[in-house]
Amino acid sequence: TNTCFNVVGDNVTIERVRFVGEGADRYGINIATGVKNTRISNIYGENIKHSLIMNDGENTLISGVYCYNCGWDCVSNYRNAKNSTIRDCFAIRCGRHGFSTDEGADGICFINCYAEDIGWIDGEGHTCFHLEGAKNSKIINCQAVYTENHPIASNDFTGIFNACRIESADTVMTNNS
């Protein structure tokens, strides 16, 4: 799998980039484990086969991201992601999740994020916000609008939901813990 940008050092800023993947087997931006203080803003991604942004770093700030028609997630916070903020981001028609965390992620904060029409292709997940194993995390003023299955799915999530809007779903939230 290819990645357009691999962030492997601390204190990196990426801004005003447009990714149009035409279904190519790649990620947009991958932040490596242990990388600190990455700032990503004003990113547009369309037709990326995997996630637009894969965050496995610490103290990451992601803002102003618009993701359309990606195969996996708009922003995925992986196992080692810590103390990261994702704000003012949009995920439209992503195939797996709009925004996600994985087992081990800690202190992830989603603010003013919007996910719509998630899970439009066959595959796993199908959630606007998939919060697997997220510890000490916050979902604030976010919206999940129409999704294949559950707008918010959690497994072992600990944290805060505040002022979120959920529409067009059979189940508002699942919790398998």
| pLDDT (tens digit per residue) in 105-127 | 999 999 999 988 877 555 454 67
Cβ pair 117, 96 in contact under 8 A: no
Give the tens place of pLDDT for each residue, 46-55. 988 888 999 9
pTM of the model: 0.86
Rounded Cα distance, 24 and 76, in Å:
18
N-term to C-term CA, the chain: 32
* 30/28 Cα distance (integer angstroms): 7
Q: How far apart, in whole angstroms, are the C-alpha atoms of residue 10 and residue 162?
A: 31
User: What is the C-alpha radius of gyration for the chain, rounded to an integer number of angstroms?
Assistant: 14
Of all residues in the chain, the percent with pLDDT exceeding 70 is 76
**Amino acid letter, residue 145:** V
Bridge partners of 109, per DSSP, are 85, 138
Judge whether 157 and 175 are in contact, CB under 8 Å.
Answer: yes
